[in-house]
């Protein structure tokens, strides 16, 4: 006995042992927390970096556009007194193409929208009349403009940077324009293309109508992107940074800045996956180095947990079935090797003995109506389930006291209760020992007659009705009952449906004058 008690630990020491074992779990939690912090820092740094990129490129693009407009303004002034000279027009367009390198083409447009000169002169559009909305707007506004993207007569998707030409007398003579072919290499792609990275980062530019006017994938230039909160913000003139799912479903870290001179917006973005790749690789290396220790710790915790929980689990399982006959045997077989579980085991053994003694009395009481001593709904359901499982046919009598409310109103509820108890005793004397009589509620009773056909059930029902009618129950001069009958499985596959059929037959007995029996009529 001494040796047995020596090796029986108390729960406090086991909890301390388990707490030390969870140090490995603390390490895992630390690694996770560290990963989350570093992950958030990387995301914030990437967002900040992309915002800085976008702001810088917006400034560079703005500077380019302003320089281009200034160049066009200078040459427009030079043309103001020489516009009628073909040589002067040719000289200006050629010089702009050769010297600036900013434009894909340079053209001079007269007030009617006709192309007077164009460089390079290989474009087959000289003398053509321009009818697009951008040309019409530039002619109407007569001010420096940067157009929306449109398709030129030569079939190029382009943006037009224009400056009006006025004569020395102030007469409007058309405009001088430099174009950027958006789907071909241009000065804008040269500026922005330097910032494209192989890890999925890239820059794109959108106009006020949310169309891509620059994108590393040229086939996407001209595409309109309607569902993107970053584009919504930048075309509204806002700048900032945001995590966003782009139009292709990729999780991106985007920085954005507007280009006020043109109403455009620059977006620099990098995939979240690419941003976190290095961190993920580092964390996997850390995990792989600590994994052996963690595994040993987890195995130790698992072993200790099972060792501690095993007796408690078995006792808990036994506690869920205290009414079973073999519960005492199963509790005795539990190996309670530490103090607390052994104390619980002894208490359960004592309690189970008490439970078994009380259970019989409780089960009997739970299945009986407290007023009449008859069965209740629980016993009714148990009987139906038993007959159904054994495939035993039965008939059902639904019995109801006629005008019972008048009895209560006239004599009081105490007399009503006495009538019900006397009726219950009379019914018990009229039926067999195997028949089940239940009080369904109020003044209604259900009688289950196993193995009885409707014919034999009818005889018993009539005998009960006449017995109640001819033998008064004090203080009443006379008492009547109505009865509805149905049979299973003759009239229904579901045994519970037969209860409803008997109830319907009872209702019909009430409608037909009370103090009578009625059979359920199958439809």
Residue 208's CB is within 10 A of a number of other CB atoms, namely 13
* DSSP H or E segment with residue 264: strand 264-271
* DSSP H or E segment with residue 204: strand 202-206
Q: Among candidates 420, 397, 412, 407, which has minimal Cα distance to 498?
A: 397
pLDDT in tens, 313-336: 777 777 776 667 677 777 777 787
> DSSP assignment, residue 452?
-
Paired sense of beta strands 240-245 and 251-259, if any = antiparallel
Mean pLDDT of 466-487: 91
Q: Is the dihedral of CA 55, 56, 59, 65 positive or negative?
A: negative
Mean pLDDT of 144-149: 86
Looking at 146-160, 207-221, 388-402, which range is the least confident one? 146-160
**Model confidence band, residue 438 (pLDDT cutoffs 50, 70, 90):** very high
Mean pLDDT of 343-369: 67
Task: Tell me what the pLDDT averaged over the chain comes to.
Answer: 84
Q: pLDDT at position 322, please?
A: 63
Question: Do 1-301 and 377-519 show the same overall fold?
Answer: no
Long-range interactions of 232-241: CB distance < 8 A, separation 24+: 234/206, 234/258, 234/265, 234/266, 234/267, 235/206, 235/207, 235/208, 235/210, 235/263, 235/265, 239/51, 239/54, 239/55, 239/58, 240/51, 241/47, 241/48, 241/50, 241/51
CATH topology of domain 1-301: Beta-Lactamase (3.30.450)
pLDDT in tens, 406-431: 999 999 999 999 999 999 999 998 89
Looking at 40-49, 110-119, 128-137, which range is the least confident one? 128-137
Report d(CA 227, CA 440) in Å as an integer: 65
**Measured torsion, CA atoms of residues 117, 154, 101, 216, in degrees rounded to the nearest 10:** 160
Radius of gyration of the chain (CA): 48
Percent of the chain with pLDDT over 90: 30
Mean pLDDT of 144-162: 82
Report d(CA 438, CA 431) in Å as an integer: 12
Domain ranges of the chain: 1-301, 377-519
Mean pLDDT of 149-155: 76
* 3 pLDDT above the threshold of 50: no
Residue 58: φ, ψ to 5°: -65, -40
Mean pLDDT of 491-512: 93
* 1 pLDDT above the threshold of 50: no
pLDDT in tens, 212-249: 888 888 888 888 888 899 999 999 999 999 999 887 88
Mean pLDDT of 199-223: 86
Between vectors from CA 344 to CA 343 and to CA 350, what angle results, nearest 5°? 95
Mean pLDDT of 377-389: 90
Q: Three-state DSSP class for 1?
A: coil
Q: Is the dihedral of CA 139, 140, 141, 145 positive or negative?
A: negative
* 190 pLDDT above the threshold of 70: yes
pTM of the model: 0.53
Higher-confidence residue: 305 or 507? 507
pLDDT in tens, 244-272: 988 788 898 999 999 888 889 999 988 98
**Model confidence band, residue 8 (pLDDT cutoffs 50, 70, 90):** low
- Overall CATH class of domain 377-519: alpha beta
* 188 pLDDT above the threshold of 80: no
Name residue 158's beta-bridge partners: 150, 181
Q: pLDDT at position 173, please?
A: 92
Q: pLDDT at position 4, please?
A: 47
**Model confidence band, residue 501 (pLDDT cutoffs 50, 70, 90):** very high
Mean pLDDT of 473-498: 91
Higher-confidence residue: 11 or 19? 19
Is residue 189 within 8 Å of residue 181, measured between CB atoms? no
**Model confidence band, residue 15 (pLDDT cutoffs 50, 70, 90):** low
């Amino acid at each position: 006995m001494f040796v047995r008690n020596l090796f029986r630990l108390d729960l406090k020491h086991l909890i301390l042992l388990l707490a030390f074992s969870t140090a490995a779990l603390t390490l895992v939690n630390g690694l996770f927390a560290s990963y989350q912090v570093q992950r958030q820092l990387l995301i914030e740094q990437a967002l900040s970096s992309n915002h800085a990129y976008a702001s810088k490129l917006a400034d560079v693009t703005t500077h380019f556009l302003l320089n281009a407009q200034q160049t066009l303004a200078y040459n427009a002034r030079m043309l103001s007194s020489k516009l009628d000279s073909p040589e002067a027009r040719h000289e200006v367009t050629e010089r702009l193409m050769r010297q600036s390198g900013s434009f894909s083409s340079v053209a001079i447009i007269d007030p009617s929208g006709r192309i007077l000169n164009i460089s390079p002169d290989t474009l087959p559009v000289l003398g053509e009349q321009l009818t697009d909305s951008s040309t019409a707007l530039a002619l109407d506004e007569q001010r420096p403009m940067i157009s929306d993207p449109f398709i030129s007569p030569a079939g190029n998707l382009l943006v037009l940077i224009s400056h009006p030409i006025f004569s020395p007398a102030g007469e409007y003579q058309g405009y001088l324009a430099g174009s950027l072919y958006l789907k071909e290499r241009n000065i804008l792609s040269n500026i922005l293309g330097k910032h494209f990275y192989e890890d999925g980062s890239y820059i794109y530019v959108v106009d006020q109508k949310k169309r891509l006017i620059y994108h590393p994938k040229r086939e996407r230039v001209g595409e309109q992107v309607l569902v993107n909160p970053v584009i919504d913000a930048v075309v509204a003139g806002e700048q900032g940074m945001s995590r966003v799912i782009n139009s292709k479903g990729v999780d991106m870290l985007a920085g954005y800045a507007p280009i006020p001179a043109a109403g455009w917006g620059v977006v620099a973005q990098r995939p979240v996956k690419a941003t976190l790749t290095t961190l993920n690789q580092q964390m996997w290396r850390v995990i792989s180095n600590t994994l052996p220790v963690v595994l040993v710790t987890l195995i130790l915790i698992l072993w200790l947990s099972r060792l501690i929980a095993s007796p408690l689990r078995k006792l808990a399982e036994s506690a869920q079935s205290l009414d079973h006959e073999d519960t005492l045997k199963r509790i005795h077989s539990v190996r309670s090797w530490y103090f607390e579980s052994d104390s619980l085991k002894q208490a359960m053994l004592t309690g189970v003995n008490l439970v078994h003694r009380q259970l019989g009395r409780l089960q009997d009481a739970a299945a009986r109506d407290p007023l009449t001593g008859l069965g209740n709904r629980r016993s009714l359901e148990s009987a139906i389930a038993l007959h159904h499982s054994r495939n035993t046919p039965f008939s059902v009598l639904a019995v109801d006291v006629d005008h019972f409310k008048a009895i209560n109103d006239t004599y009081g509820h105490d007399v009503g209760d006495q009538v019900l108890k006397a009726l219950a005793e009379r019914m018990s004397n009229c039926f067999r020992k195997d028949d089940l009589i239940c009080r369904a509620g109020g003044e209604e009773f259900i009688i289950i007659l196993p193995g009885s056909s409707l014919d034999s059930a009818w005889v018993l029902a009539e005998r009960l009705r006449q017995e109640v009618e001819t033998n008064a129950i004090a203080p009443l001069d006379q008492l009547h009952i109505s009865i509805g009958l149905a049979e299973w499985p003759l009239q229904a596959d579901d045994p519970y449906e037969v209860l409803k059929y008997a109830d319907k037959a009872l209702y019909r007995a009430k409608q037909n004058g009370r103090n009578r029996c009625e059979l359920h009529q199958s439809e």
